[in-house]
Amino acid sequence: MTASTARTHVSTADAPAAIGPYSQAIRHGDTLYCSGALPLDPADGSLVTDSPAAETTRCLETCRRSVAPLGPSWRTRCG
């Protein structure tokens, strides 16, 4: 694997930890893959079940927090 195709695992304590054998996100070149973003409340780990809209918002917030360690350009493009 060359430097241009190397994968980087992205992890942050600001988002719920991955449940299972996967990363919060993986960077591959200029592409970022977020996976397994469950609607978990980062404060207590509880599942957000108020409504589909609340669940979606929580999942997207988890992805946003997972991207944050990569810097402002990623937040702008993905947030």
Kindly report the backbone phi and psi dihedral angles of residue 65, in degrees, each rounded to the nearest multiple of 5, phi listed first: -65, -35
Q: Where are the domains of the chain?
A: 3-70
Residue 54, pLDDT score:
93
Whether the CB-CB separation of 51 and 79 falls below 8 Å is answered with no
CATH topology of domain 3-70: 60s Ribosomal Protein L30; Chain: A; (3.30.1330)
Statement: residue 1 has pLDDT above 60: no
Kindly report the backbone phi and psi dihedral angles of residue 37, in degrees, each rounded to the nearest multiple of 5, phi listed first: -80, 95
Residue 26, pLDDT score:
86
**What pTM was computed for the model?**
0.70
12-69 pLDDT per residue, tens: 888 887 777 878 888 888 788 887 678 888 888 899 999 999 999 988 888 888 888 8
Using DSSP's 3-state secondary structure scheme, residue 71 falls into coil
Residue 66, pLDDT score:
82
